[in-house]
Amino acid sequence: MHGLMQDWPLTVDKILDHAKNWHGDREIVSRSVEGPIVRTTYGQVHDRAKRVSNALKVLGIQPGDRVATLAWNTSRHIEAWYGIMGMGAVCHTLNPRLFAEQLCYIVNHAEDQVIFTDLTFLPILTELQAQMPCVKHVIVLTDEAHMAGVTLPGALCYETLLAQNSTDCVWGGFDENSAAALCYTSGTTGNPKGVLYSHRSNFLHTLVTMGKDVMGISATDTVLPVVPMFHANAWGLAFSCAAVGAKLVNPGQKLDGASIYELLESEEVTFSAAVPTVWQMLLTHMRENNLKPSTLKRVVIGGSAVPEALVRAFRDDYGVSVTHAWGMTETSPLGTLATPTGAIAKMDPEAQLRFTLKQGRPPVGIELKLENDAGERLPHDGTTFGRLMVKGPFVVGEYFKGDGGEILDDEGFFDTGDVATIDDYGFMQITDRAKDVIKSGGEWISTIEIENIAVGHEKAFLCAVIGAAHPKWDERPVLLVKLMPGAEATKEEFLGFLEGKIAKWWTPDDVLFVDDIPLGATGKIDKKLIRQRMADYVLPTAKAKATA
Ligand code: AMP
C-alpha cells in the first residue's frame, strides 16, 4: 500500500526558494575577488541565480549538461551553483589547487561545456584552453570594468550576461534523482574519480546536517565557511545556510589568519568550518597579535584529524567549542561528528576531550561497519582496527561513467579506504588511510595518532609519519617535523616527548627535521609525495642491521 502524502520532489532549487521566501533580506557577505566586501541577500541571490539559468539556456545548455565552476567562495559562485542546478544542469566544482594536467583530465572526463571562473584562474584556463575542446564558453565572474584586462579568447562577462537575461525562469520540475552536482576525488592514487550527487542526495544531506548534533546551525547564526565550495560542497553549508536562513560570510580567496580574523570580527561570525591547517594559521595570527574572537561560538574541523593542541587552544584560551567531523567527497561529505551523547556530556571536560579527538558518531542516514581484509565484521571495542565501510542515501553508489567498477560490497557498503576503530560509545576514530598505515611485524601502527601527539610539542609546526622499509619488521615509523619558525630541536627531544604517550613499539625509528611538509589539493599532508621524496632514505636501524 502506498502512503498518501504529497509528492514533493527533493530538488535543491527549493532550498533557495525557501531562503528567498522566508529569509529574503538575510545577508550574504563576500570578500570579492576584486577586493572590496560585497553585500547581498538571499532574495537578490535568488533573482540573479535565475538570470544565470536563463543565460545558460541561451548558451545552449540543456538539463544534464555539465557546467563547471572554478571559483572561490563568493556570492557570485553561489548564484552560479543554484542557477546551474535549478535548471537541471550539473554543477561541477573544480578544485583550482589540482595540478594542471589533473584539472584538464577532469574537465574532459566530465565533458564540461561551460566554465564559470574567477579572474584569479584565467592564467590556468588560458594555458589549458586548447586541451579542453569540450568547453564551449568561459564566463568570468566579474563586471565589465574588470574584463578590460582579460585576454582569454571568447571569454564572457558574468555581469553582462546577467543584465541581458531576465529573472523569469521555472526551476525544478524534474525527478529528484536527477544529477545536481559533480565533484572529483582528490585522486591521491590513480586518476580522480567523479562523485555525482543527485538533488535528492543533496537535499537529504542538507536536512541531516541541520540537526543539532550535526552542524546545528540556525537562523540566528552567522556562518563563515572557510572550507571551499570546491572541497566536497563546502561541507554542505551552501545548502544548509540557505535552508535555515543563516547569514553567510564568504571569504573569497583570502584564507590567511589575518583575513579570516578580520571577517570573523567585522561580520560577527558565530560558526565556522575549515580544515585544521586553516585554524592553525588563525591561532598563530591571534597569538602573535594578542587577539581574541569576540562572537565565534563553534567551529567544525574536519578533512584531517584535529590535533589536541588545537582543541585545547580554542576551548581554553578562547571559549570556542570544537566539533570534530569526518567525511569524504563520496559521503556528500559529512559522515560522522564528535558531538557528545548524553553519557559523554556528563563526563568532566578532560574525559570529554578524549571523545572530541575522535572522528565521532554517525547521524541518522549513515550506517557504518568495520571489517578485516577477509570481509568479516570486527567488534566495536575501541581497539580493533578495521576497514571503515559506509552506507546511506547520500553515499556514493558508483563513480561517474562507472570508473573503478563495482564499488559496493554484498551488503551495499562503500569501502572508505580509511582504517578506524569504533568504541563502545559508538565513536569512530580514524587511525589511518589504508595505504598509509604502517605494518610492523604483522601489527598496525597508526601514523595519524603519532602525528597528532608529536604536533602538540611546542616547537612543532607540522608533523608527518610515514613507514620506511625495515628488513626485520617490514616497516618502521619515521617522524618528519617541520619546526616553528626559528625553533631548533633534537631527535631525542621529540622521542622523549612521545614516551609514555604511545606504545613503546610505536616509537619512531628516526626523526627528521624538514623545511617543508607538502600539502595536497585539499589541505591534507601529501604522503605520496613525501614517500617519493624519501625514495632513497634508509632507516638507521635498517643500516645497523645491514652492517651487523
Ligand atoms: P576528501 O574526499 O578529499 O574530503 O578526503 C576524504 C578523506 O579525508 C577521508 O577518507 C579521510 O581519510 C580524510 N579525513 C576526512 N576527515 C578526517 C578527519 N576528521 N580525521 C582524519 N581524516 C579525515
Predicted pLDDT of residue 259: 97
- Site to probe by mutation for ligand 1, drawn from 197, 233, 275, 326 as the one with most ligand atoms within 8 Å of Cβ, is 326
Q: Give the C-alpha separation, 182 to 160, whole Å.
A: 27
444 has catalytic annotation? yes
Please name the residue ranges forming H helices in 71-225.
Answer: 75-86, 100-110, 122-128, 144-147, 158-164, 199-209
* DSSP string over 338-404: ----HHHHTS-HHHHHHHHTS-BBPPTT-EEEEE-TTS-B---SSS--EEEEEESTTS-SS-GGGTT
User: Is 95 in contact with 230 (CB distance < 8 Å)?
Assistant: yes
- Please tell me the distance from the alpha carbon of residue 293 to that of residue 58, in angstroms, as a whole number: 46
Counting from 1 in the atom list of ligand 1, the atom nearest the Cα of 325 is 19
**In a mutational test of the pocket of ligand 1, which residue from 98, 184, 301, 304 has the highest number of ligand atoms less than 8 Å from its CB?**
304
Which residues are within 8 A (CB) of 543 and not within 5 positions of it... i.e. 6 or more apart? Answer: none
Q: Residues 420, 359: contact at Cβ < 8 Å?
A: yes
Give the whole-angstrom CA distance, residue 263 versus residue 278.
14
Prediction pTM value: 0.91
Distance of CA 395 to the CA centre of its chain: 15
**Ligand 1 center to 228 CA (angstroms):** 15
- pLDDT of 434 reads 84
Q: Rounded CA gap, 59 and 48, in Å?
A: 17
Cβ atoms within 10 A of the Cβ of 128, count?
17
pLDDT at 101: 87
Place of cell 547569514: 247
Distance from C-alpha of 475 to C-alpha of 512, rounded to nearest angstrom? 17
Q: Which protein residue's CA is at the shortest distance from atom 23 of ligand 1?
A: 304
3-state secondary structure 244-274: HCCEEEECECCCCHHHHHHHHHHCCCCEEEE
Atom of ligand 1 nearest to the CA of 430: 21
Catalytic residue among 176, 330, 449, 475: 330
Determine the residue type at 465: V
pLDDT in tens, the chain (548 residues): 999 999 999 999 999 999 999 999 999 999 999 999 999 999 999 999 999 999 999 999 999 999 999 999 999 999 999 999 999 999 999 999 888 888 999 999 999 999 999 999 999 999 999 999 999 999 999 999 999 989 999 999 999 999 999 999 999 999 999 999 999 997 656 789 999 999 999 999 999 999 999 999 999 999 999 999 998 889 999 999 999 999 999 999 999 999 999 999 999 999 999 999 899 899 999 999 999 999 999 999 999 889 898 999 999 999 999 999 999 999 999 999 999 999 999 999 999 999 999 999 999 999 999 999 899 999 999 999 899 999 999 999 999 999 999 999 999 999 999 999 999 999 999 998 888 989 888 788 989 889 989 999 999 999 999 999 998 889 999 999 999 999 999 999 999 999 999 989 999 999 999 999 998 877 788 998 999 999 999 999 887 665 55
How many angstroms separate the CA atoms of 453 and 444, rounded?
Answer: 17
Is 8 annotated in the active site? no
Cis peptide preceding 333, ω within 30 of 0: yes
In SS3 terms, 271-305 reads as EEEECHHHHHHHHHHHHHCCCCCCCCCEEEECCCC
Q: What is the DSSP letter of 548?
A: -
Distance CA 218, CA 396 (A): 28
Best residue among 328, 331, 368, 407 to mutate for probing ligand 1's pocket (most ligand atoms within 8 Å of CB) is 328
Give me the pLDDT at residue 388, please.
97
Q: CB of 196 within 8 A of CB of 182?
A: yes
CA distances in angstroms from 398 to 166, 174, 194, 408, 417, listed in the order given: 38, 22, 9, 8, 15
- CA dist., res. 79 & res. 76, Å (int): 5
Closest C-alpha to 196, from 233, 165, 167: 233
- Can you name the residues that pair with 367 across neighbouring β-strands? 391
436 CA distance to ligand 1 centroid (A)?
A: 13
All cell numbers assigned to 539? 632507516
Predicted local confidence at residue 189, as pLDDT: 61
pLDDT value at residue 358? 97
List the grid coordinates of 401.
Answer: 561513467
**Per-residue DSSP letter, 312:** H
Indicate which atom in ligand 1 lies nearest the CA of residue 305. 20
Choice among 297, 439, 472, 501 that is catalytic: 439
Q: How far apart are CA 240 and CA 354, in angstroms?
A: 29
Q: At what angle do helices 75-86 and 13-23 cross, to 10 degrees?
A: 120
pLDDT at 125: 96
The predicted pLDDT at position 232 comes to 84
